[in-house]
Amino acid sequence: MSVKTEFDLINYIKKSFDLKAIGDDCAVLPASGETDLLITADLLIEDIDFTLSSTSAADLGHKALAVSLSDIAAMGGRPTWALLTIGFPQPLWETNFVEQFYHGWNALAAEFAVELVGGDISRSPDRLVIDSIVAGYVPKGSAVLRSGAKAGDAIFVSGSLGAAAGGLKLLQNSVTATGAAVESQKYLIDRQLRPVPRVQLGQRLREENLATSMIDLSDGLSSDLHHICEASSVGARVDASLLPIDKDAIAEFGADEALKLALNGGEDFELLFTVSSEKISAVNSADPTRIGTITQAADGIKLIDRDSTVDLQPSGYRHF
């Protein structure tokens, strides 16, 4: 196994060691007779997942927690407690970065009544390293998995797509939110640096038993839809014209590029979920947008883009 993606490795480990809890946004573990514990970990490494030149310490603290809250949201959980593990390079340690990071983290934690219960602090030779671990709870057996989609279900996403990737593109082109950026650029950068986890929506979809499957958009729609289809053994048909592509991303980059950002950009941290046909009307259409339909596995995963139907390749973010 010398050429592998991280998904290959996860599957290899899962099979080798006969692990059943692995493979969703969070692990689901029995907590008591009435509740299941959800737990997720997200590793953020400087110069891979962020650069210190384009984020403030407080925004980084916010994002480190937000990405994990988003995993809890994707299973319909109520986030409850967290661990925070950080390796600091010596020069950062000697500034007020550390305190500012915790303040940013804590401001978001307070919104969701998440308590910091532990973690680890270490020295790092040169790069900042953060592992964000968040736990949440759901009533026993009610966590929304990736594996519940059925042919005929409608596919929905929350919010707008492509904004976070658009913000990243601006930052990579040295546009910063504090410079001469116009409002729409500031908004896109904010979507990249301060994602809003869809915790309430995730809980509502679980409580009202509306979502048959769910995942958060971290890698990108094309990849994350593949994760749902694999876990559920189904296919999918997505209509490009229905995608809620972010308006500011379109304005900044044009429609074609914005579509690519929406499909493959990742980090929007919106929720992608499926709903059985009889419950479609119960999903409040004010926010979540229907973008397609679940099909049979044999039909593959297709994108209808104007007159043509093409395979929707999983082109979202991969570490390897």
Task: Give residues in contact with a second copy (CB under 8 A).
Answer: 1-4, 6, 9-10, 12-13, 16-17, 19, 21-22, 26-27, 29, 31-33, 37, 39-49, 81, 83, 85-88, 90, 93-96, 98-99, 102, 106, 115-125, 127, 129, 131, 133, 319-320
Q: Output 82 or 303, the one with its CB closest to a second copy.
A: 82
Question: C-beta of 148: minimal distance to a second copy in Å?
Answer: 19
Contact 60, 20 (CB under 8 A): no
Supply the minimum distance, in Å, between the C-beta of residue 51 and a second copy: 11
Helix (H) or strand (E) holding 215, with range, is strand 211-216
CB of 243 to a second copy, least distance (A): 28
What is the Cα–Cα distance from 259 to 254, expressed in whole angstroms?
Answer: 9
Report the residue number, 95 or 284, with the smaller CB distance to a second copy: 95
Which residues have C-beta within 8 Å of that of residue 65, sequence separation ≥ 6? 82, 105, 108, 109, 114, 132, 134
Q: Report whether 229 contacts 297 (CB < 8 A).
A: yes
Between 138 and 157, CB nearer to a second copy: 138
Residue 164 or 234 with smaller CB distance to a second copy: 164
Closest separation in Å from C-beta 133 to a second copy: 6
The number of beta carbons lying within 10 Å of the beta carbon of residue 34 is 8
Question: H helices within the chain, ranges in order?
Answer: 6-16, 57-73, 90-93, 97-111, 163-172, 183-193, 199-207, 221-232, 247-253, 255-264
In whole angstroms, the minimum distance from the beta carbon of 226 to a second copy comes to: 17
What gap in Å lies between CA 303 and CA 298, rounded to an integer?
A: 15
Q: 21 vs 310, which CB is nearer to a second copy?
A: 21
Cβ closest to a second copy, residue 24 vs residue 252: 24
